[in-house]
Structure 1
Amino acid sequence: MKLNNIEHVFFDLDHTLWDFDKNSELAFGDIFKKWNLGLGVQDFLKVYSSINLKYWELYRNNKVSKEVLRYGRLKDSFDILNFEANDDLVNSLADDYIEYLPKNNHLLLGTVEILEYLKSSYKIHIITNGFEEVQRKKMATSGILEYFHTITTSEEAGVKKPHSLIFKKALEKSAASAENSVMIGDNYEADIIGAENAGLHSIYFDYHQNTTTAAMRQIKTLKELIKFL
């Protein structure tokens, strides 16, 4: 069923439009080669992926700092793999990752097509918990920056999704009202619950295939947005 009276469409970035998993794998591949670590990237990612999600949840809930996230997700992964890495190496790898990650440009299937579809009828925006210094670079490198009227990051807002203040900040920047806005994202707590608590409509993008019947509107592919917009 189409959403009526929508003028502003807000997207999450990572795992919603920008293919974080693919781009992260490529970044680690380049970094491991640079440092000649002698550790298989796929072996590393099998451990790292869940640890990274855990740290992002802690970061989202203000239980760890940005610095602890960047260090801890690597250190914990290496420890599980019994791979010796001192603090200097871990910190160097963490710095390289932030540098290398936005150089990759893979988008999720249908990203450009859906942005092209939406741009003539709506103003499109980004709300992200990602780091300020890399999110705009990701969008520029992947060729989608021009589609967005505003970009609101958690570092700019001073709070992270699902806190209502980041959504209010985004609404202020875009001169939008909550009732004529919709949020689309892959994280049910951060994107969907957060948006709805701030008064926005929402569409849950089930990227992780964790279908939740609690979401009133949900999609499994970006092209399915045409059902609602």
Structure 2
Amino acid sequence: MAKIEHVFFDLDHTLWDFEKNSDLAFQKVFEKQNITIDLDKFLEVYKPLNLEFWRLYREEKITKSELRYSRLKNTFDAIDFEISDEVIDMIAIEYIDFLPHFNHLFDGTFEILDYLKDKYNLHIITNGFEEIQAKKMESSKILDYFDVIVTSESVGVKKPNPRVFEFALEKANANANNSIMIGDSIEADIYGAINSGIKAIHCNFEKEAIENSDFESITALHELKQYL
């Protein structure tokens, strides 16, 4: 890793604790909307559906508005909770409004960013929605660590499309040989980077079994010190 000058991070599920912050945002929305439903039951169904709809969104098979509506509609249908489309649309809007105001980060985020900031140029590449990613980083007080922030919406395609990584390299005045990508998604972050000629480290915080991997993995952010 001696040649590395630029470190690109994913945001959600890598530095910013999306699951914890998302749960809190839904709790606030349901309280505001007086939705009498067991939140844990809702989230148990919602989370795998959300991942599936994000996959479709990443593959350009659904639009952003379809993602935001369908993941909620399908969840409510699955748990037999009757709710109008009007309220679903309101939940979708308020969820996005509330989400960036919760600021939980993964353990070791500030420690590793402080460790890296004087040695490398730090950047963000995220598939998250354009209108809230900077707000998330500002709320959690990590925005100033990063020189370049690239969202998929600003490029017009999503990770793992090589155009996202090419755009980020150009904007950061970097090249593939002196850069590394760190993220949680094997498909979007790791192979997206590797297929663009960029080294990558997988954040496997759930310690899931990975067979025949051809990339490095960490289970906590402080482990990055072994490589950088």
Cα displacement (A) at 1:99 = 0.2
Instruction: Give a deviation string over 1:87-112, Cα, whole Å, max 9, x none.
Output: 10100100001100001000011111
> Which of structure 1's runs of 4+ aligned residues deviate more than 3 A?
none
Alignment-mate amino acid for residue 218 of structure 1: S
CA distance in 2, matches of 1:96, 1:41: 16
CA distance in 2, matches of 1:138, 1:217: 27
Alpha-carbon RMSD across the aligned residues, in angstroms, is: 0.8
Equivalent pair of 1:51/1:73 in contact (CA under 8 Å):
yes
Could you say which residue in structure 2 is the equivalent of 1:32? 30
Larger CA deviation: 123-132 vs 206-215: 206-215
Equivalent pair of 1:19/1:106 in contact (CA under 8 Å):
yes
Could you say which residue in structure 2 is the equivalent of 1:224? 223
Could you say which residue in structure 2 is the equivalent of 1:83? 81
Could you say which residue in structure 1 is the equivalent of 2:143? 145
Cα displacement (A) at 1:131 = 0.3
Could you say which residue in structure 2 is the equivalent of 1:108? 106
Could you say which residue in structure 2 is the equivalent of 1:171? 169
- 1:63 maps to 2:30: no
CA distance in 1, matches of 2:207, 2:77: 29
Equivalent pair of 1:114/1:222 in contact (CA under 8 Å):
yes
Give the TM-score of the pair, scaled to structure 2.
Answer: 0.98
Cα displacement (A) at 1:19 = 0.3
CA distance in 2, matches of 1:134, 1:44: 23
Alignment-mate amino acid for residue 110 of structure 2: V
Cα displacement (A) at 1:208 = 3.6
Unpaired stretches in structure 1, ≥5 consecutive residues = none
Could you say which residue in structure 2 is the equivalent of 1:18? 16
Secondary structure of 1:183's counterpart equals strand
Unpaired stretches in structure 2, ≥5 consecutive residues = none
Could you say which residue in structure 2 is the equivalent of 1:192? 190
Identity fraction in percent:
52
Cα displacement (A) at 1:211 = 3.4
CA distance in 1, matches of 2:129, 2:75: 21
